[in-house]
Amino acid sequence: MPAPSLEDVQAAALTVDDDGVIVSVNGAAESLLHRARADFVGQDAHDLLHRDSHGDVPPRTHCRPGNALRDRRTEHGDRDWFARGDGVLVRLAWCVTPYASGHRSTGALVLLYEREESAPEEDLSGAPESMTELDRLTLLAETTTQLTSTLDTDEALHRLAVLTVPRLADWAVIDLIAERDEVRRALVVEYKDGVLIEHEDLQGPMPPIPEESPMPLSRALRGAASSLAGPAMYQGPPDSGIAVEQRRLFAETGIHSAVIAPIRGLRDTLGALTLGRSQRPTAFTASDLPLLEDITRRAGLALDNARLYQRQRKVAETMQRHLLPQLPTVPGVDMAVRYVPAPHASSVGGDWYDAFALTDSTHALVIGDVVGHDLDAAAGMAQVRNMLRAFAWSQPRAAPGVVVTQLDEAVKHIAEVPTATIILATLALGDDGLWRLHWTNAGHPPPLLVSHDGQADYLEDAHGILLGTGVRRPRPNAVTVLPPLTTLLLYTDGLVESPHRSIDRGLERLRRYAASLAHRPLGAFCDSLLEQVRPEDNDDDVAMLALRTPDRSQ
């Protein structure tokens, strides 16, 4: 249907299609966002306009307008960040509502507008001593909600800055202590002309914490109580390297009054928060310290959780990498593998690939997926992988279906695995000089075969039920010849499955893109598929195993 006329709408209005691509805008949108109409149309609305508080494009999973569009629901929000054409960030209220022509979904109408406040923003962000008790409780509740809803340390720090600046101060400075007691100035943020500005030139490594210094930041980093601070404290001879950095901070920011509080975790001091005032004339007083300590107490708990989670991710990822094998050398055959962990889980999961020699002339290829994407799934994957290797090695000439049948019996009685899918294939060179693939499929997405001239087809044969169901059925087998320069792709469902689209759509997308990449080197082929095919809202890990047969003319 033609895009509706928007010029009669007083607010800035855009229409977008089902994929979030801008179809039309009105004059109010051009004026509010400082962009010409041609700069809007055909652009992805999320990438073009939506920003977080420090100017970065937020993940699509965190984009409320985009989620409303995908879910076909009407939703509004207050004071999110958007980017104008001149690079300035502005906070705007928004409303998204879907529209349709007949029974056909066509997109949504997006309204952006400046929300009128009960008082100017400068008044709302006044001194904390002017805050009512309800204001304080609201701020603390918001701090708890915002900081505990993320397990990413950098995101938590930026949220802490947004909560305190400009509401309490003009500047927020966060120093963090690393595991080896090294100090890093992790974030320096200023509120100026209605936007938050991050000063990377003031961030970076800091000198070590002095053991005896009475200066406010040094004391806070040792876990002492919060205190007031000002530039006069740092005018004399510095007693430490940290004092030198603090004098530089006051000089370059123009802060005339500051409060500094430790950020304490459950066991250790994690860092310190400094709030400074340079624009507003009122100075901090001792009555401001209890509120600051309440904020940093909540920040410490949130950072403790984030650090614990990140340590778990590091341990889990190390475990996963060690579980994934090195590829064998198959003369003449090019092989490549990729593994991408789940973005919102423990960085590991039940997806795996494997390749190993059965005889001098035959190699096994495996792709599998144990249900789940956490440490339990990774441990179950290791059990299944090792049992499969043992069964395959003990009978190297057995059909893949026979080996997987034995594996299924073992999974039910030995492994702590609820269900799993798997493809077991053998690769062997025939007397005619052509490679042959012999495989069985236990409930897994089908292998994809891509010819050198760009024809891509799924190997739908030999498809049986997944492992762990308790149902006994013969496992089918299939054989196919792999012509020269043929690419075989084995993959897990994280590459093609999404909460917001059917797996059939994902499979078709994979087939189409794989065909277009047939001439790419195998490593680039895999990387491009991950970049172009993997759904952005994917919450599962991805494993891929690809091989390419040699050119017989060489």
Helix 289-323, helix 153-164: angle, nearest 10:
160
pLDDT(71) > 80: no
Q: Residue 88 has which token pair?
A: 């300035």
Q: How confident is the model at residue 387 (pLDDT cuts 50, 70, 90)?
A: very high
Burial of residue 225 (number of CB atoms within 10 Å: 0-12, 13-18, 19+): exposed
Tokens of 341: 């962990």
- Concatenated DSSP letters for 151-184? --HHHHHHHHHHHHTTTT-SEEEEEEE-TTS-EE
Q: What is the pLDDT of residue 321?
A: 63
Give the residue carrying structure tokens 């002095």.
210
pLDDT at residue 212, as a whole number: 86
d(CA 231, CA 253): 10
Collapsing DSSP to helix, strand or coil, 277 comes out as strand
> What percent of the chain clears pLDDT 70, i.e. is strictly above it?
90
Highest mean pLDDT among 159-168, 476-485, 498-507: 476-485
Q: Are strands 362-370 and 351-357 parallel, antiparallel or unpaired?
A: antiparallel
Q: Do domains 12-113 and 325-548 have the same CATH topology?
A: no
Name the burial class of residue 200, with classes exposed (0-12), middle (13-18) and buried (19+) by CB atoms within 10 angstroms of its CB. Answer: exposed
Give the relative orientation of helices 522-532 and 503-516 as an angle to the nearest 10 degrees: 140
> What pLDDT sits at residue 99?
78
Name the DSSP letter for residue 394. H
Q: What is the CATH number of domain 325-548?
A: 3.60.40.10
**DSSP string across 22-35:** EEEE-HHHHHHHT-
CA distance 93 to 95: 7
Question: Can you give the pLDDT at residue 436?
Answer: 96
For 353-389, letters b (16+ CB in 10 Å) and e give bbbbebeeebbbbbbbbbbbbbbbbbbbbbbbbebbb
pLDDT at 129 over 70: no
Is 506 strand, coil or helix? helix
Which CATH number applies to 121-312: 3.30.450.40, 3.40.190.10, 3.30.479.30, 3.20.20.80?
A: 3.30.450.40
User: Is 124's pLDDT higher than 50?
Assistant: no
Q: What is the mean pLDDT of the chain?
A: 86
CB atoms under 10 Å from CB of 194, counted, come to: 12
pLDDT tens profile 266-324? 888 999 999 999 988 889 998 899 999 999 999 998 888 888 777 766 766 666 666 66
Choose between 390 and 314: higher pLDDT.
Answer: 390
The band of 483, judged by pLDDT with boundaries at 50, 70 and 90, is very high
Cα–Cα distance list, 131 to 127, 135, 144, 279 (Å): 7, 6, 18, 19
Could you tell me the pLDDT band of residue 545, with boundaries at 50, 70 and 90?
A: very high
Confidence of residue 128 (pLDDT cuts 50, 70, 90): very low
* SS3 state of residue 429: strand
Provide the pLDDT for residue 144. Answer: 86
| Residue in this structure with the two tokens 């060489």, named with its chain if needed | 554
The position carrying tokens 């909560």 is: 163
Identify residue 330 by its one-letter amino acid code: V
Q: What is the pLDDT of residue 375?
A: 66
Q: Which fold has domain 12-113?
A: Beta-Lactamase (3.30.450)
Residue 78 reports pLDDT greater than 80 = no
Quote the pLDDT of residue 412.
Answer: 81
**Across residues 427-442, what is the average pLDDT?**
94
Note whether 188 and 274 are within 8 A (CB): no
For the chain, what are the domain ranges? 12-113, 121-312, 325-548
SS3 at position 59: coil
And the tokens for 457?
Answer: 């087809």
Per-residue pLDDT band for 377 (boundaries 50, 70, 90) equals: confident
pLDDT at 122: 40
Residue with tokens 């202590």: 177
Highest-confidence segment of 297-311, 375-389, 434-448: 434-448
Which of the four pLDDT bands, split at 50, 70 and 90, describes residue 3? Answer: very low
CA-to-CA distance for 309 and 190, rounded, in angstroms?
29
Evaluate if residue 357 carries a pLDDT over 90.
Answer: yes
Contacts of 82 (CB under 8 A, 6+ apart): 33, 49, 50, 51, 89, 90, 91, 92, 112
In angstroms, how far is CA 266 from the centroid of its own chain? 27
